[in-house]
Amino acid sequence: MSEFDFIERIRVRIARNAFKPTDLLLGIGDDAAILREQSGRELLITTDLLVEDVDFKLDYIPPAWLGHKALAVSLSDIAAMGGTPRFSLLTLAIPLASAECGVRSAEFWDAFLDGYCALAEAHQVTLIGGDISGMPEQLAIDSMVLGQCESGKSIRRSGAQVGDAVFVTGELGASAAGLQLLLNGERVDETLADAKQQAMRAHLRPEPPVAFGQALGQSGLAHAMLDVSDGLAQDLAHLCTASQVSATLIAEAIPVAESASLQLALHGGEDFELLFTAEAKNEAALQRLAELHQMQLTRIGGVTLRSDAQALTLKQNGIAQPLTPQGFDHFRR
Ligand code: ADP
Ligand code: MG
């Protein structure tokens, strides 16, 4: 399969998609895609780089799940801004070394695109372009998503206010627990649904809370938000720094996944849940919104005045202790 056959395969597949956005004037096939600009809207742009053997290993992620995850990580970023994902771009650096087997095979890329396109279609996201090149050894995937929101309604990290409550969606730690299982040699089996399988699935096939993120944006209830990608403590520290506040977490309130521990819930990465702050008096309204979207929502702490010594405090059994993030850092591993 040549590069041009490959692009043609992608183009045909996207053309088959029943959903045709009216503001897309030109998709795959020219030097650039063309979108009609919309007044009263803000454009949100995000990109994520996934590198083989750093962000994933081909021996444990099924190709369809890799396609799903490549898009999911960027959908999560748009959700975390309170926006609606609309369009995507996909750039691939494909290993030259491994001949026509594995990652160079048509079967691999058909499965990858199946996973990618199924998630894109589920959220009415249209792939409008990308690029392909070779790499000496490993596979690299750059996933870009463009999203929209009403002007002024995007939710930044910097809006948290002293006195806000801290909320998180879903459960935490499963993804990190799943990664540990995979690194210990466990593998996914789609016929099983036990806690171990759920944990590996959380890591390899995350479902970003797209609709709830968008609803939060429209509601105007959240003051600051991000997605939990580096670990709860690390990401809350980022939010606190951006907002120039501190925060206290209540250990007993943190929704720890069945397969995980409090430690993994605090410091494990890639949960792709939404972490946000909002006025405590809006908790009931937020819970109703979460219920509407079949999301679990938990109040896990509060925002306090910035103290220079420590951004985060963990209260466990009524005892407050400084909490130091130990989340993932690509430059530190
Ligand atoms: P150029 O040489 O002008 O960059 P390409 O041959 O790389 O053009 O790409 C041709 C068309 O195919 C462009 O519209 C581009 O966006 C699209 N395209 C290339 N790679 C991908 C990909 N991985 N996924 C989706 N579209 C792609
Ligand atoms: Mg190109």
Residue nearest ligand 1's atom 11 by CA: 29
Our answer on whether the CB atom of 131 is closer than 6 Å to any ligand 1 atom is yes
| Ligand sitting nearest the alpha carbon of 129 | 1
Q: Rounded to an integer, what distance in angstroms lies between the CA atom of residue 320 and that of residue 296?
A: 26
Q: List the structure tokens of 317.
A: 């059994």
- Supply the pLDDT for residue 98: 63
Our answer on whether the CB atom of 5 is closer than 6 Å to any ligand 1 atom is no
- Supply the pLDDT for residue 309: 67
297: alpha, beta or left? (left if phi > 0; alpha if psi -120 to 50): beta
Mean local confidence (pLDDT), 126-133:
96
* Model confidence, pTM: 0.95
Cα 129 to ligand 1 centroid, rounded to whole Å: 6
pLDDT tens, 225-272? 999 999 999 999 999 999 999 999 999 999 999 999 999 999 999 999
Residue nearest ligand 1's atom 8 by CA: 31
Is the pLDDT reported for residue 147 higher than 60? yes
Q: List the structure tokens of 107.
A: 């079967």
Our answer on whether the CB atom of 92 is closer than 6 Å to any ligand 1 atom is yes
Ligand 1 nearest atom to the CA of residue 30, by list position: 14
Q: Rounded to an integer, what distance in angstroms lies between the CA atom of residue 212 and that of residue 293?
A: 6
Q: Quick one: CA dihedral 156, 142, 42, 150, positive or negative?
A: negative
173: alpha, beta or left? (left if phi > 0; alpha if psi -120 to 50): left
| Ligand sitting nearest the alpha carbon of 93 | 1
- Supply the pLDDT for residue 137: 87
Residue type, 92: L
* Cα end-to-end distance, the chain, whole Å: 37
| From 99-103, 116-120, 126-130, 165-169, the region with the lowest mean pLDDT | 99-103
Identify whether the C-beta of residue 277 lies closer than 8 Å to the C-beta of residue 162. Answer: no
Give phi and psi for 253, each to the nearest 5: -90, -20
Our answer on whether the CB atom of 29 is closer than 6 Å to any ligand 1 atom is yes
Q: What is the dihedral of CA 116, 75, 144, 156, to 10 degrees?
A: 180
**Please, which pLDDT band fits residue 16 given cuts at 50, 70 and 90?**
confident
Our answer on whether the CB atom of 10 is closer than 6 Å to any ligand 1 atom is yes
- Supply the pLDDT for residue 266: 97
pLDDT tens, 192-228? 999 999 999 999 999 999 999 999 999 999 999 999 9
